[in-house]
Amino acid sequence: MFDIVSFQLFFITAIVICLTPGIDTLYILSRSISQGKSAGVYSVLGISSGTMVHTILAAIGLSALLKTSVLIFTIVKVVGAIYLLFLGIQMLFKKGSRLNNVKMNYIPPKKLFSQGVITNVTNPKVALFYISFIPQFIATDNVYGPLPFLILGIIFVFISTLWGVSISLFASKVTEKLRENTIVETILNKITGLIFIILGLSLFSTNKN
């Protein structure tokens, strides 16, 4: 249907890919561990929205530019890396605030959401994944244009969102008591910052192939 081939294989492969730890998974875990369930869930929603952006761009052929243009690829990679490094450094210098001022530790949902979107949209690996993986399950003589691509992309986003929310709830629950301690909270923030910095540096090493 809609020139989609081997849908069962796509579905199983999508699940396996979502279960494989990557930048998005580590980002969600970091937010959930350091700031709790709400931060984790809003981060998931932001990342899912960013993935939808990649889906739409790939469906209309714009993401293919990342595979042919070194300049565009480099710009996207550098922007994403710098942003993650910025978040990492910010978290490194953030102190625990449970006993002092709870509002200091509060990050508005809108900001958490936008950070998730930016982190995902500026990750060239996501775009390259979309333009190399999903086309494998679309007939070469496809007559539906971008529709099959959009369908498979939306299904993938749905699976990844469910997985992201699940690990967010689990991670936040496990570390809930730890975050109530100011010293432990500070340590968690620093660990989160280091993870973000590592993720940012990893983007610099991303290759086109």
pLDDT of res. 209: 47
CB 36 within 8 A of CB 172: yes
Q: In which band, very low, low, confident or very high, does the pLDDT at 104 lie, cut at 50, 70 and 90?
A: very low
- Range from 8-12, 53-57, 72-76, 86-90 carrying the lowest mean pLDDT: 72-76
**Rg (Cα) of the chain, in Å, rounded?**
18
Name the pLDDT band for 173 (thresholds 50, 70, 90). Answer: confident
Asked whether the beta carbons of 150 and 56 are under 8 A apart, the reply is yes
Quick: pLDDT tens for 107-127. Answer: 788 888 998 898 888 877 777
| Core vs surface per residue 118-127: b (16+ CB within 10 A) or e | bbbbbbbbbb
Taking the C-alpha atoms of residue 107 and residue 36, their distance in angstroms, rounded to an integer, is 11
Q: For residue 105, what pLDDT is reported?
A: 52
Tell me the CA end-to-end span of the chain in Å, nearest whole number. 31
